[in-house]
Structure 1
Amino acid sequence: MSGLLALLDDVAGIAKVAAASVDDIGAAAAKAGTKTAGVLIDDAAVTPKYLQGFEPARELPIIWRIARGSIINKLIFLLPAAMLMSAFAPWLIPPLLILGGSYLCFEGAEKIVHVLRPHDAQSGGPDGSHDVQDPTHLEEEKIKGAIKTDFILSAEIMTIALSVIESPNVWMQGATLALVGLMVTAAVYGAVAVIVKMDDVGLWMTKVGRTGITRSLGRGIVKFMPWLLKTLTVVGTAAMLWVGGSIIVHSIAQMGWHRPEDTIHALAVSLGGGSGFLEWAVTAAVDFVLGLMWGLLLVPVGVKIVGPVWNAVTPKGI
């Protein structure tokens, strides 16, 4: 009997440790997830464009296929690569973060340049995507393009998360990173699903609403959604530049050059007047300006050099 009680006591102890580990994983995942907020906002703002031109009935199936591709990107390809890098080449994390931050700055700056210098959005792209007539083929191409864009953003999300996860062993680190991947995928594509279907909900309310208030609310939703999408685009662009600049400054400090980060911190403290929010706002504003400046420098490089080289070496359809 005493042996059974001892065994039960050991099992209870193991359960307590497991429960604590689960709590630690959840807390670490939540902390890592907040660090990727800027990338998530941009991801949610970018994805709806891949659904333009399709029947409403195809929107949710397309979102599901993109989300499934995102999960495969994160868990099958990026998670093992991140774990190997963390175990055998942790020194690669800051340079990769700088590369990812530079990509965010480039994307944000390029969007601003396109607004200031409008381009012909109806002309065919280098992949001839605008010339595709078959709806099924167009859907496949859009999904492939969305998953390819997601891979880049997911790589940035996983690298950022990996850089802030503090875990005692590789298994907890891997579990936390996997949880982050699932959480952010659910958050992004759940939000996208709500966004793209809200206008349908509004139209439904205007048709079947039994009261004037319900029908008016439906019309308000329909009118509001285009403004929401525009706002998300603006917020996503600003977040890309702010997060990109912040990542670069912090990663440079991790590599040994602390002056930029220390200078920004000193400026934030002097202008913040002891207010934590003002200090954060000053820091974010400086990071945004730095991100924009760096991005504007990268735009001609990306458009004139990297883009043509990538199109030349990448087979169509990939």
Structure 2
Amino acid sequence: MAGGSLLMLLDDISVILDDVSAMTKVAAKKTTGVLADDLALNAEQVSGVKASRELPVVWAVAKGSFVNKLIIVPAALLISAVYPPLVTFLLMCGGLYLAYEGAEKVIHRFWPHLLPHDEEQNARLQANAENVDLVALEKQKIKGAIRTDFILSAEIIVIALGSAVASGATLMQKGLVLSIIAVAITVGIYGLVAGIVKIDDAGLHMMDKEGDFKQKVGEILFTAAPKLMKFLSIAGTLAMFLVGGGILVHGIGFLQDGVEDLAHLTGIFESVTTALLNGVIGFIIGAAVVAIFTIIGKIRGDNGASSAH
């Protein structure tokens, strides 16, 4: 009897694990687009760090990302069980933040006179000029990367949760699926980021090796590294609009309907058109938020100046 019960228990566990495995695969497929954006954003976030500090910064952000997941996974399960609409609201807040951050970067890059001075850039230039330690600036960059990771991680977890719910998962199955996704994406994303930021070092190492082929490959890697980082910097900013805009569009009924109707007209390019429209809407909303904060800041500044007189 005891042997039969054990076999039945093992069989139940096997069935549960099979179901979890299938649900995890489905959830992973649905989050592929966000994962690509997550990779670009995180690689962009650690750009500009001294070569000797690249891996420590990536590791610090990765640890922060694990902490984010430890908060997000239980919170997502709890909120979805208690009050599901709150998940959508929180995602909308995150999407708005991404759109705002992306718009601020673009405006600082192309129309810097429209905004207050870039404090981070000025701090970096001053630190380099004075040849001082950049620890404080590095900590600021890490905090920013972890903050952005929190928003992207929340979207990935919510998408995975929605996929598990659609599959009729139990609470335990949902927890397992989200835990697997959380660990896998953190290890995968930051493992790739660590590899990307050290491509130039790998190129230098190969250039010192004997053999024309190895030296040629090393030269290609070393030359390509800064170009790749520049591309990822651009891609990371675009990802803020694509992800942020996508969240906002999906959360606002008439925007989603309008985007779907316009994208449908483009036929085989429907998915590309949808992404582009999401990005444009993300930039417009983000720019509007930047304008609002800038105006509020100027009003406060004027009031402060008046008070001083």
TM-score, normalised via structure 2 length: 0.80
Task: Identify which of 65, 68, 77 aligns with 2:63.
Answer: 68
Q: Which moved more, 1:7-16 or 1:243-252?
A: 7-16
Label 1:164 to 1:103 Cα distance change in 2 as closer, same or farther (>3 A).
farther
Q: CA deviation at 1:223?
A: 0.8
Residues 32 and 161 in structure 1, CA contact (< 8 A), matched pair in contact too: yes
Q: Percent identity?
A: 37
CA distance in structure 1 between the aligned counterparts of 2:104 and 2:279, rounded to whole angstroms: 14
Alpha-carbon distance change, 296 to 141 in structure 1, aligned in 2, over 3 angstroms:
closer
Match of 2:157?
158
Structure 1 contact 93–163 (Cα < 8 Å) conserved: no
Partner-residue secondary structure (3-state), 1:168 = coil
Tell me the equivalent position of 1:287.
278
1:262-305 per-residue CA deviation (whole Å, 9 max, x = no partner) reads 23222222221xx2xx1111212221211111111112234565
Q: Give the residue type in structure 2 aligned to 1:179.
A: I
Matches within 5 A, 1:303-314: 303=294
Aligned position for 1:124: 123
Task: Name structure 2 gaps, 5 residues minimum.
Answer: 301-309
Task: Report the equivalent of 2:218.
Answer: 218
Whether the aligned pair in 2 keeps the contact of 1:245 and 1:288 (CA below 8 Å) is yes
Number of aligned positions between the proteins:
291
Amino acid at match of 1:228: L
How far is 1:7 from its partner? 3.4
The letter of the residue matching 2:83 is A
Query: 1:25-174 alignment to 2 at 5 Å?
Result: 25-34=23-32, 36-37=34-35, 39-49=37-47, 52-55=49-52, 58-75=53-70, 77-118=71-112, 122-124=121-123, 133-134=132-133, 142-166=141-165, 167-174=168-175
- Matched residue, 2:181: 180
The more displaced of 240-249 and 23-32 is 23-32
Alpha-carbon separation, structure 2, partners of 1:305 and 1:270: 40
Moved more, 99-108 or 31-40: 31-40
Q: 1:33 to 1:179 in 2, by over 3 A?
A: farther
Change (3 A) 1:9 1:179: closer
Contact 2:105 2:237 in 1 (8 A): yes
- Alpha carbons 2:203, 2:220 under 8 Å: kept: yes
| Amino acid paired to 2:50 | G
Give the Å deviation of 1:147. Answer: 3.3
Counterparts of 1:8 and 1:53 in 2: how far apart (Å)?
57
Contact 1:105 1:241 in 2 (8 A): yes
Q: Classify the secondary structure of the residue corresponding to 2:122.
A: coil
Q: Which is further off, 182-191 or 19-28? A: 19-28
Aligned equivalents of 1:35, 1:84: Cα separation in 2 = 26
Amino acid at match of 2:220: G
CA distance in 1, matches of 2:78, 2:28: 23
The aligned counterpart of 2:12 is 14
Aligned to 1:24: 22
**Whole-Å Cα distance in 2 between the matches of residues 22 and 195 of structure 1?**
32
The Cα shift of 1:84 comes to 1.8
> Do the aligned partners of 1:32 and 1:160 also contact (CA within 8 Å) in 2?
yes
CA positional deviation for 1:40 = 0.7
Match of 1:316 in 2: none
Normalization by structure 1: what TM-score?
Answer: 0.78
Residue 96 of structure 1: how far off its partner (Å): 1.6
CA contact (8 A) 1:36 1:160 kept: no
- Cα RMSD, aligned residues only: 3.1
The answer to whether the 8 Å contact 1:94/1:252 transfers is no
Q: 1:246: which partner in 2? A: 246
Matches of 1:261 and 1:144, distance apart in 2 = 32
- Kept after mapping to 2: 8 A contact 1:82/1:159: yes
